Amino acid sequence: MSESALFVRRPGLLTTVQDLGRPGLGRFGVSAGGALDQGALILGNRLVGNEPGEAGLEISLIGPELVLTGASPVTIALTGADLGATRNALPLPRWESVSIAVGDVIAFAPDGGEGRGARAYLCVAGGFAIPPVMGSRATDLFGGFGGWQGRPLRAGDEVPLRGATGPLPQRRLRTPPPDYPSELIIHVVLGPQHDRFTGEARATLLSATYTVTPTSDRMGIRLSGPPLALTHGADMLSEGIALGAIQVPGDGAPIVLLRARQTIGGYPKIATVIGADLDALAQARPGDCLRFETVTVDQARALSLAHQSRFGEDAIVTNTESAVSDAGAAVMAESWDPDGVRRLVEALATAGVTEFRFEIAGLTLELRRGEGEDALAPSSGARSGAEAEPDDVILAPVLGTFYRRPAPDASPYFEPGAAVEGGQTIGLIEVMKTFTEVTAPRAGILAAFLVEDGVFVEYGQPLARLAAADDAL
Amino acid sequence: MIPAPAGNAEFTIHPLADTGLLLQLGEQTSTALTRRIAALTAALDAAALPGLIDLVPSYTTLMLTLDPALADPAAIAATARHFWAEAAATQPAPGRQVTIPVIYGGERGPDLGDVAAHTGLSSEEVIARHAGAPYTVVCLGFAPGFAFLTGLPPELETPRLAKPRTHVPAGSVGIGGVQTGIYPLTTPGGWRLIGYTPSILFDPDRAEPFLLQPGDEVRFEPSAAPAE
């Protein structure tokens, strides 16, 4: 078969097929489910010319590694959070359509990108060749049905695509995409059981800051913060649970219920998040902070209408000239003329690339973003192999806390000025009790550390400068 | 909160932000209330009101999910009151009669002896009373196709397991406190398992995925274990 498919090399943390869900089965115990950030899915579909409710991949925090198989290129669009997506190791732009070739590898940084937003959506022109179950291609993880075999993607899966759509014009958003702040104000309407809480609890809900905990999932966002006291205990007759309901079990720690929640439950609900804020809420990641503000039902409705209007057909524009954003295509198309290089530099700078090396027909183009400069600037354009290796900067492979020593009371791995072999550990980065080794990419002299021991570093942040061994004093 | 008018269309409506309405239709569960809520649910579903996208009935409430861009909440509330009054006037009939065969005891009913010991009845009497009683499906929830039934004879009431099982096979029939029911999916569960049914409660690929719906009248029928 030559039909196209996405082959899963690595599944990521939780990658599922989702569309807009299957509302209408609540009375049978089936929640609507579907993409948690529906706006991001709708825009992704519009960018690739699909119906807005077509199924895409919902990618959570740590993304997969996917390879396009088959015989023909396809158009994709990545929307939602920046989880560090690449195509063939180059940054994959979000919020615009991109044509990918057979064999192209779509991967995600293991640290999950810039750390804002929790979920990305990958839409493919034509959608996935997956039969709908009870009217939807959404994966119901609790019920184990729908989507791809009723479960998250696994390594070795080959998810078939529905088919070639032919060449598509390049599309992008008309207005800037949503950003995903890590401090959110979420609007609510009190009720339906706010009168089962103390007045102090209602005041606390509307004044305190709550933190998203790592136990949050597609069913709900579990919050830590001041507990909310009930006046009549936490047990009540089970009833339907609204999307966005803020439910409070006996321990007083609120849970905001999302699309994959159970349909009914017996805990009191102090308030309900308005429709307009559900997409933003779905992008809250562990550690993000929420504050709640009340609005009236009429205000909520007006906000929802404004929110939904951002996902209409007119949210998309079609580029009339070829985009510069695809770095590889730009190089091929523009050859080495100065204007082509300038446009490539702009594209790379826009994509946040700090280093770029490209070899073709015996020529090498090597670009590096200079320290203290905003834009990428060409640093050399010489014949391949003619130049000595420049200094290397050792970058943080993940975000977290950087340590120069294996244990708090141990000596540092290396002092500045020491000679290191390629692959030797020069430090550790801790994130959530997991340690990642920082290794020297090659032999050299550890010229200087660029960050203090024990500080928090971002992914890709320069940690140390490595001088070539023959530059040694 | 929209105040309740007088008369038999009386109920309170709580807004669920802009995306839903919770109709508080009674205070105490009863078979009559369950039937009336089932009739209201069916009538609202059949009316296909714009922007009314889901209905979740339960013991004393009906939750309506709305698309704020399409729904007129006031019109939906008025329609609900109309159907509620109509359901009161017509005394809704019992729902569908569904008989569910159960193989009591044995490997798949490991707690039958515990229920007998707790209730002071013999295993045979537990089976006779469990299978002899009529049950009503109040609502479905917890898992797709899981029916909350009322009608367990009070003498069969048995506390849940202190430590829930991590793996209760689909089709298991259990008693948990005052409730009895059937696990539609293999899930964790803390009810005392007294048998199992070969009936499939939920099959997403079947033309009618759900065996039960709210308002159904259920009877359990003792059945012999299938021949090896």
Which CATH code, of 1.20.210.10, 3.30.420.10, 2.30.330.10, 2.40.100.10, is assigned to B97-222?
A: 2.40.100.10
Which amino acid is it at A191?
Answer: G
Of A173, A139, A150, A466, whose CA–CA distance to A310 is shortest?
A173
Q: Give the model confidence (pLDDT) of A321-345 as tens digits.
A: 444 344 444 444 444 555 556 666 6
pLDDT above 70 (res A12): yes
Range with the poorest average pLDDT among A350-364, B46-60, B205-219: A350-364
Q: Indicate which of A20, A22, A28 best probes the interface with B, i.e. most B CBs within 10 Å of its own CB.
A: A28
**Inter-residue contact B39 to B57 (CB < 8 Å):** no
pLDDT tier for residue A352 given thresholds of 50, 70 and 90: low
For range B144-158, the mean pLDDT: 95
Contact B58 A243 (CB under 8 A): no
Structure tokens at A179: 């950003």
**CB distance from A135 to chain B under 8 Å?**
no
Neighbours of B60 (CB within 10 A): 22
pLDDT tier for residue B105 given thresholds of 50, 70 and 90: very high
Contact A274 B19 (CB under 8 A): yes
Q: Residue ranges of the domains in chain B?
A: 12-90, 97-222
User: CA–CA separation, A315 vs A328, rounded Å?
Assistant: 27
User: CA–CA separation, A201 vs A229, rounded Å?
Assistant: 6
User: CA–CA separation, A180 vs A116, rounded Å?
Assistant: 5
Q: How many CB pairs under 8 A join A and B?
A: 151
Q: Give the model confidence (pLDDT) of B25-39 as tens digits.
A: 999 889 999 999 999
Q: Give the model confidence (pLDDT) of B132-143 as tens digits.
A: 999 999 999 989
Neighbours of B224 (CB within 10 A): 7
Range with the poorest average pLDDT among A66-70, A106-110, A338-342: A338-342
Neighbours of A412 (CB within 10 A): 15
Which of A336 and B61 is assigned the larger pLDDT? Answer: B61
What is the residue-wise DSSP string for B71-107?
--HHHHHHHHHHHHHHHHHH-PPP--EEEEEEEESST
Chain B neighbors of A192, CB-CB under 8 A: 14, 16, 22
Contact A242 B17 (CB under 8 A): yes
Say which of A133, A134, A192 has its CB closest to residue B22: A192
Q: Would you state the pLDDT for residue A169?
A: 84
Q: Indicate which of A264, A270, A303, A304 best probes the interface with B, i.e. most B CBs within 10 Å of its own CB.
A: A264
Neighbours of A103 (CB within 10 A): 11
Which of A187 and B163 is assigned the larger pLDDT? Answer: A187
For range B191-208, the mean pLDDT: 96
Checking ipTM against 0.95, whether it exceeds it is: no
Minimal-distance CA residue of chain A relative to B14: A192
For range B51-80, the mean pLDDT: 96
CATH number of this structure's domain B12-90: 3.30.1360.40
For range A133-152, the mean pLDDT: 96
**CB distance from A26 to chain B under 8 Å?**
yes
Identity of the highest mean pLDDT range in A414-423, A462-471, B165-174: B165-174
Q: Would you state the pLDDT for residue A417?
A: 85
Say which of A24, A143, A244 has its CB closest to residue B54: A24
Q: Give the model confidence (pLDDT) of A236-280 as tens digits.
A: 888 999 999 999 988 899 999 999 999 999 899 999 999 999 999
pLDDT tier for residue A363 given thresholds of 50, 70 and 90: low
Structure tokens at A68: 């396009």
For range A28-49, the mean pLDDT: 97
pTM for this predicted structure? 0.76
Cα-based angle B119, B125, B129 (whole degrees, multiple of 5): 90
Dihedral (Cα; B37, B41, B47, B49), 10-degree rounding? 110
pLDDT tier for residue A391 given thresholds of 50, 70 and 90: low
Q: Would you state the pLDDT for residue B89?
A: 86
pLDDT above 90 (res B151): yes
- Edge-first strand order for the sheet with A434-439 is A434-439, A425-431, A400-403, A456-457
Q: Is A113 exposed, middle or buried (0-12, 13-18, 19+ CB in 10 A)?
A: buried
Q: Would you state the pLDDT for residue A164?
A: 65
Q: Would you state the pLDDT for residue A334?
A: 43
Contact B54 A26 (CB under 8 A): yes
Q: Indicate which of A239, A279, A281 best probes the interface with B, i.e. most B CBs within 10 Å of its own CB.
A: A239
Quote the minimal CA–CA distance from B124 to chain A in Å.
Answer: 32
Q: Would you state the pLDDT for residue B219?
A: 97
User: CA–CA separation, A162 vs A21, rounded Å?
Assistant: 19
**CB distance from A301 to chain B under 8 Å?**
yes
User: CA–CA separation, A238 vs B57, rounded Å?
Assistant: 10
Contact B58 A237 (CB under 8 A): yes
Q: Would you state the pLDDT for residue B120?
A: 97
User: CA–CA separation, A215 vs B163, rounded Å?
Assistant: 22
For range B61-77, the mean pLDDT: 96
**CB distance from A461 to chain B under 8 Å?**
no
User: CA–CA separation, A211 vs B57, rounded Å?
Assistant: 33
pLDDT above 70 (res A382): no
pLDDT above 80 (res A287): yes
Q: In order of start, what are the domains of chain A with their CATH numbers? A: 5-172 (no CATH), 183-309 (2.40.100.10), 327-380 (no CATH), 392-471 (2.40.50.100)
Q: Would you state the pLDDT for residue A3?
A: 84
User: CA–CA separation, B44 vs B77, rounded Å?
Assistant: 10
Contact B144 A304 (CB under 8 A): no
Q: Would you state the pLDDT for residue A389?
A: 41
Q: Would you state the pLDDT for residue A472?
A: 37
CB contact residues (below 8 A), chain A span 217-276, against chain B: 237-245, 262-265, 272-276
Range with the poorest average pLDDT among A324-333, A433-442, B70-79: A324-333
pLDDT above 80 (res A1): no
For range B74-95, the mean pLDDT: 90
Q: Would you state the pLDDT for residue B53?
A: 97
Say which of A143, A192, A274 has its CB closest to residue B144: A143
For range B197-216, the mean pLDDT: 95
For range A300-324, the mean pLDDT: 82
Contact B65 A243 (CB under 8 A): yes
Structure tokens at B29: 């569960």
Contact A265 B140 (CB under 8 A): no
For range B30-53, the mean pLDDT: 95
pLDDT tier for residue A201 given thresholds of 50, 70 and 90: very high
For range A56-61, the mean pLDDT: 96
User: CA–CA separation, A107 vs A225, rounded Å?
Assistant: 35
Neighbours of A322 (CB within 10 A): 13
Mean pLDDT score across all residues of chain A: 85
Minimal-distance CA residue of chain B relative to A131: B205
Q: What is the DSSP letter of B162?
A: S
Contact B53 A24 (CB under 8 A): yes
Cα-based angle A315, A113, A402 (whole degrees, multiple of 5): 155
Q: Would you state the pLDDT for residue A423?
A: 86
Minimal-distance CA residue of chain A relative to B187: A142
Minimal-distance CA residue of chain A relative to B13: A192
pLDDT above 70 (res A311): yes
Q: Would you state the pLDDT for residue A205?
A: 97
Instruction: Please list, in sequence order, all residues whose beta carbon lies within 8 angstroms of the beta carbon of residue A162, skipping any fewer than 6 positions away.
Output: A126, A127, A128, A129
Contact A140 B144 (CB under 8 A): yes
